Amino acid sequence: MSAIPSDLNDPATRGADLLRRPHWTPAAATGIALVIAALLALPLVSLLRIAAIGDAEIWPHLAAYVIPNAAAQTVLLLAGVAVVTTVAGAGAAWLVTTFRFPGRGILLWLLPLPLALPTYIAAYVYGDTLDAAGPLQSALRALFGWHAASDYWFPPVRSLPGAILIIGFVLYPYVYLAARAMFQTQCAIFIDAARATGASSARAMRDIALPLARPALAVGVALALLETLNDIGATEYLGVQTLTLSVFTTWLNRGSLPGAAQIALAMLAIVAALIAFEAYGRRHQRYQSVQDNRVTAPVVLHGGRAALALIACLVPVAFGFLIPAGFLLREAILRSLRGGIDPALLRHGVTTITLAANATLVILLLGLAATLARRLVPWRLIAGGVSIATLGYAIPGTVLALGLLGPLVAIDDTINWLTLRVSGTNIGLILAGSSAALIIAYNVRFLAIAIGFMQAGLARIPNEFDEVARACGAGPARLVGDIHLPLLRPALWGAALLVFVDCLKELPMTLLLRPLNTETLSTYIYQFASRGNFEDGALAALLIVSVGLLPVIRMVHLAEANPAARTKRGK
Q: How far apart are CA 156 and CA 153, in angstroms?
A: 9
The residue from 197, 423, 425, 517 that contacts other proteins (CB under 8 A) is 517
Q: Does 512 bind other proteins (CB under 8 A)?
A: yes
Q: How far is the CB of 533 from other proteins (least distance, A)?
A: 7
| Residue 425 interacting with other proteins (CB under 8 A) | no
**Euclidean distance between CA atoms 40 and 404, whole angstroms:** 9
Report, in Å, the least distance between residue 233 CB and other proteins.
Answer: 10
For the chain, the helix, strand and coil percentages under 3-state DSSP, each to the nearest 5: 80, 0, 20
406 binds other proteins (CB under 8 A): yes
Question: If binding is defined by CB under 8 A, does position 383 make contact with other proteins?
Answer: no
129 is a site residue for other proteins (CB under 8 A)? no
Burial (CB < 10 A; 0-12, 13-18, 19+), residue 57, is exposed
Residue 31 beta carbon to other proteins: minimum distance, rounded to whole angstroms: 24
- Asked if 30 interacts with other proteins (CB under 8 A), we say no
Of 286, 531, 568, 569, which one interacts with other proteins (CB under 8 A)?
Answer: 531
Site for other proteins in 440-479 (CB under 8 A): none
| Interface region with other proteins, contact rule CB under 8 A, candidates 29-37, 81-89, 124-132, 280-288 | 124-132
Is there binding between residue 518 and other proteins (CB under 8 A)? yes
Residue 482 is a binding residue for other proteins (CB under 8 A): no
Residue spans of alpha helices (H) in 148-256: 160-184, 188-196, 201-203, 210-212, 214-230, 233-237, 243-252
Smallest gap from Cβ 127 to other proteins, in A, equals 6
Contacting residues for 289 by C-beta, under 8 A, at least 6 apart: 462
The residue type at 80 = G
User: By CB under 8 A, is residue 241 in contact with other proteins?
Assistant: yes
Q: Does 430 bind other proteins (CB under 8 A)?
A: yes
Secondary structure (3-state) at 239: coil
- If the CB atoms of residues 154 and 465 are measured against other proteins, the closer one turns out to be 154
566 binds other proteins (CB under 8 A): no
Closest by CA to 432, choosing from 413, 447, 445, is 413
H helical segments located in 479-562: 485-505, 508-513, 521-530, 538-560
> Which CB atom, from 32 or from 401, has the smaller least distance to other proteins?
401
Give the binding range for other proteins (CB under 8 A) out of 7-15, 16-24, 184-192, 243-251: 243-251
Residue 185 contacts residue 99 (beta carbons within 8 Å):
no
What would the x/- binding string for other proteins be over residues 255 to 294, using CB under 8 A?
A: x-x-------------------------------------
Phi and psi based region of residue 145 (left: phi greater than 0; alpha: psi -120 to 50; beta: remaining): left
- In the bound state with other proteins, the residue whose beta carbon lies nearer, of 255 and 298, is 255
| Dist CA 174 CA 459 (whole Å) | 19
The number of helices, as runs of H, and strands, as runs of E, in the chain is 28, 2
Q: Which residue type is seen at 211?
A: P
Closer residue to other proteins (CB): 179 or 444: 444
Q: Which of 379, 478, 496, 394 is nearest to 32 (CA)?
A: 379
**Is 338 a residue that touches other proteins (CB under 8 A)?**
yes
3 state SS of 288: coil
475: left (phi over 0), alpha (psi -120 to 50) or beta: beta
- CB 430 to other proteins: min, Å: 5
CA pseudo-torsion sign 528, 533, 539, 544: positive
Q: Pick from 31, 54, 161, 433 the residue near other proteins by CB under 8 A.
A: 433
Residue 185 or 352: the one with the smaller Cβ distance to other proteins is 352
Nearer to other proteins, 48 or 274 (CB): 48
Give the CB-side neighbour count of residue 127, counting CA atoms within 13 A: 23
Q: Least distance from C-beta 109 to other proteins, angstroms?
A: 16
- If one asks whether residue 138 binds other proteins (CB under 8 A), the answer comes out as yes
Stretch that binds other proteins, among 36-44, 82-90, 381-389, 403-411 (CB under 8 A): 403-411
Among 200, 530, 546, 562, binds other proteins (CB under 8 A): 530
Q: Quick one: which of 53, 106, 202, 252 contacts other proteins (CB under 8 A)? A: 252
Considering the rule CB under 8 A, would residue 295 count as an interface residue with other proteins? no
Closer residue to other proteins, CB minimum distance, 215 or 396: 396
The residue from 54, 554, 566, 570 that contacts other proteins (CB under 8 A) is 554
Question: Please, what is the minimum distance in Å from the beta carbon of residue 470 to other proteins?
Answer: 32
Q: Is 244 in the site for other proteins (CB under 8 A)?
A: no
Q: Does 254 bind other proteins (CB under 8 A)?
A: yes
Per CB under 8 A, the list member of 33, 36, 40, 66 interacting with other proteins is 66
Q: Can you point out the beta strands (E) in 289-444? A: 299-300
CB 188 within 8 A of CB 98: no
Closest contact distance (angstroms) between CB of 231 and other proteins is: 14
Cα–Cα distances in Å, from 307 out to 87, 88, 101, 485, 502? 18, 17, 8, 42, 34
If binding is defined by CB under 8 A, does position 401 make contact with other proteins?
A: yes
Q: Which part of the chain contacts other proteins (CB under 8 A), choosing from 1-9, 16-24, 235-243, 268-276?
A: 235-243
CA distances to 202, 461, 490, 517, 547 from 214, rounded to whole Å, are 17, 19, 20, 46, 31
Which of 77, 73, 84 has its CA nearest to residue 168? 84
Burial tier of 409 (Cβ tally within 10 Å: 0-12, 13-18, 19+)? middle
Of 180, 448, 535, 556, the one binding other proteins (CB under 8 A) is 535
Among 398, 443, 520, 522, binds other proteins (CB under 8 A): 398
CA distances from 485 to 22, 135, 446, 545 (A): 20, 52, 21, 30
Q: How far is the CB of 66 from other proteins (least distance, A)?
A: 5
